[in-house]
Amino acid sequence: MSLHPQSKAVLDMMAANPGKPFEEMTLDDIRAMRSAMPNGFALAGLAEQVARVENRTIPGPGGPVPIRVYWPTAQENLAILFYFHGGGFVFGTPDWVDEPCRTLAKHSGAIVISVDYRLAPEHRYPAAAEDCFAAVSYVAGHAEEFGADAGRIAVSGDSAGGNLAAVVSLMARDRKGPAISFQILIYPCIDYLDQSPSMKEFEEGYFLTPSAMHWFWKQYADQEHAQEPYLSPQYGVDLDGLPQTLVITAGCDPLRDQGEIYAEKLRAAGIVSWVKRYDGQIHGFLHMGAVIDAGREALHYAGQATARVLRTGSAS
C-alpha cells in the first residue's frame, strides 16, 4: 500500500529531525521527553470552539484522577464520550489531545471527558485501565454534576487509549456497569503478541515500528500477562455483551491488522462492529489534522457516528 503524499511529507519531516529511538530510552529520557513535549507533536491544527472547558479531579484507585471536561453547549442531559489519550501508556496528557477532544465534542454533541490516567513505567498494568474505569464509574454515578445523561455513555481512545477504551468496555461488562453504548477504537494496540502481516509490511519507516511498540508494551506490563484480556483485549474469549464498536485504522500502520481483526471477532460474536480504514495514512494521523486532512476527517466521522449511536441506538 502506498503512502498518502501528506503522510509521506510528515515522515520526511521526522526523518530530517530524528530523535532517540523509543526502544533505547531510559526513564530519565522518558521524563525529559514528557517535559519537552507538553502538547505532543502540536500538529492537530486550530481548536474548535466549545461552550465550556473545565479541569477537575475524581477519586481513583491510586489517588485523585485528573480529568478535563468539554461541554459542547450549555444544554443539560447531554450524552457522555470519554477519551483516553495515546502515547504507548508512557506519554500523553489531556493537553496532547485538547484539539481532538474539542472537535469530538462539537461533532458528537456529547460532553467529552479526557482522562489523565497514570503512566508507565512508574505505574504499571493495570493502573491505567483502573484509572479509566474509575473515571467512567464516577461520572456515571454523578451524572447530574456534569449535566449529563448516564444512560448514554461512549468510550474512545487512540493507540494505547484505544486499548484502554476496549478494556474499560470489558471491565464495565464484567463488573455489571456502568452501561456503555458505544466504543471507538482508533488504531488500537490490543495484542501484545501481534504477528499479523501489517507488523511485517510496515516494519520500518512508517513512524511507529513493531520494535518500538514492543518497548511500549514492556514499560506497561510483563509478557507473562500478554494474553490477559484486560491487557490484550484480542485474547478475550467471551465478547458477548460488549457495545457497538467503530474501529478506525490507518492503512500504513503496523497496528492496522490487529484492530481490524478485533472488529471481525466482535462481529462474529454478534456485536455491531465496523472498520473505517484511512488508506495511505500512518499511525497517529488523527492528531495531525494541520498537515494531514484525513486526521480532521476521521475526527468528524467519529463524532458524527457517536451522535447517531447515542441518539438513536444505531450508527445507520
pLDDT tens for 244-295 read 999 999 999 999 999 999 999 999 999 999 999 999 999 999 999 999 999 9
Residue whose cell numbers read 503524499? 5
Q: What does the alpha-carbon distance between residue 151 and residue 307 come to, in Å, rounded to a whole number?
A: 14
DSSP string, 225-245: GTT-TTT-GGG-S--TTPPEE
Residue whose cell numbers read 526513564? 27
Instruction: State the burial class of residue 102 (Cβ atoms within 10 Å of its Cβ: 0-12, 13-18, 19+).
Output: buried
Q: Domain ranges in the chain?
A: 5-312
Residue 198 annotated as catalytic: no
Residues ≥6 apart with Cβ < 8 Å to 258: 188, 189, 190, 191, 194, 196, 198, 234
Residues ≥6 apart with Cβ < 8 Å to 119: 87, 89, 90, 91, 92, 128
Residue 4 annotated as catalytic: no
Instruction: State the burial class of residue 181 (Cβ atoms within 10 Å of its Cβ: 0-12, 13-18, 19+).
Output: middle
Residue type, 226: A
List the catalytic residue out of 108, 114, 137, 159: 159
Q: What does the alpha-carbon distance between residue 191 and residue 255 come to, in Å, rounded to a whole number?
A: 9
Query: Across the chain, what does the average pLDDT equal?
Result: 95
Q: How many CB atoms lie within 10 A of CB 2?
A: 10
What is the topology classification, in CATH, of domain 5-312? Rossmann fold (3.40.50)
Q: What does the alpha-carbon distance between residue 60 and residue 252 come to, in Å, rounded to a whole number?
A: 37
Q: Encode pLDDT of 85-120 as tens digits.
A: 999 999 999 999 999 999 999 999 999 999 999 999
Radius of gyration of the chain (CA): 18
* Dihedral pair phi/psi, residue 200, rounded to 5°: -85, -40
Q: How high is the pLDDT of residue 19? A: 80
Q: Is the pTM of this model over 0.95?
A: yes
Q: How high is the pLDDT of residue 195? A: 96
Q: What does the alpha-carbon distance between residue 200 and residue 47 come to, in Å, rounded to a whole number?
A: 36
297 confidence band (pLDDT: 50, 70, 90): very high
Please report, rounded to a whole number, the percentage of residues in the chain having pLDDT higher than 70. Answer: 99
List the catalytic residue out of 108, 253, 257, 287: 253
Please tell me whether the peptide bond between 178 and the residue prior to it is cis, using omega within 30 degrees of 0: yes
Task: Tell me if residue 161 falls in helix, strand or coil.
Answer: helix
Q: Encode pLDDT of 114-148 as tens digits.
A: 999 999 999 999 999 999 999 999 999 999 999 99
Q: How many CB atoms lie within 10 A of CB 274?
A: 14
Q: How high is the pLDDT of residue 39? A: 78
Q: What does the alpha-carbon distance between residue 191 and residue 193 come to, in Å, rounded to a whole number?
A: 5
Is residue 185 within 8 A of residue 248, CB to CB? The reply is yes
Residue 211 annotated as catalytic: no
Is residue 159 within 8 A of residue 186, CB to CB? The reply is yes
Name the grid cell of 75.
444544554
